[in-house]
Amino acid sequence: MSKAIELGININFVLIDREYFDIGVLEKIGDHGLKYIIPAKENPKTMMFMGYQLKSSEMHHCYYVVIKDEIKRWKMVVETNVVKIRYKKDGEWYDFAFYTNA
């Protein structure tokens, strides 16, 4: 990533596999002033977020909620947002969640 920036490559977002969800990775991305999107893993914390009241978006025919969160490890803290989206397609409900600093 640092090399790409040095070469003048414009990076708008960094898409990260959930296996690389780590405070060190998030800090490095933030240090470069970049935005990230990471699918959220199902764990007790993200399952708690599933119970939050969803807002409606008539224009996009979906429901969503944005929750401010902190990822902590030792003395390091990274502020992030958890976004949960629920939508209906062909009569079936789908939902997903992701972390982002956007």
What are the residue boundaries of the structural domains of the chain, listed by start?
A: 2-100
Using DSSP's 3-state secondary structure scheme, residue 26 falls into helix
What does the pLDDT read at residue 49? 66
pLDDT classification of 5: cutoffs 50, 70, 90: confident
What contacts 97, CB < 8 A, 6 or more positions away?
Answer: 39, 40, 46, 49, 50, 82, 83, 84, 85
pLDDT 10s digits, 75-92:
888 888 989 888 888 888
pLDDT 10s digits, 30-79:
888 899 999 987 767 766 666 666 777 766 678 888 889 888 887 888 88
Nearest CA to 97 among 41, 36, 54? 41
What one-letter code names the amino acid at 51? Answer: G
pTM for this prediction: 0.77
Residue 35 and residue 12 in contact, taking contact as beta carbons nearer than 8 Å:
yes
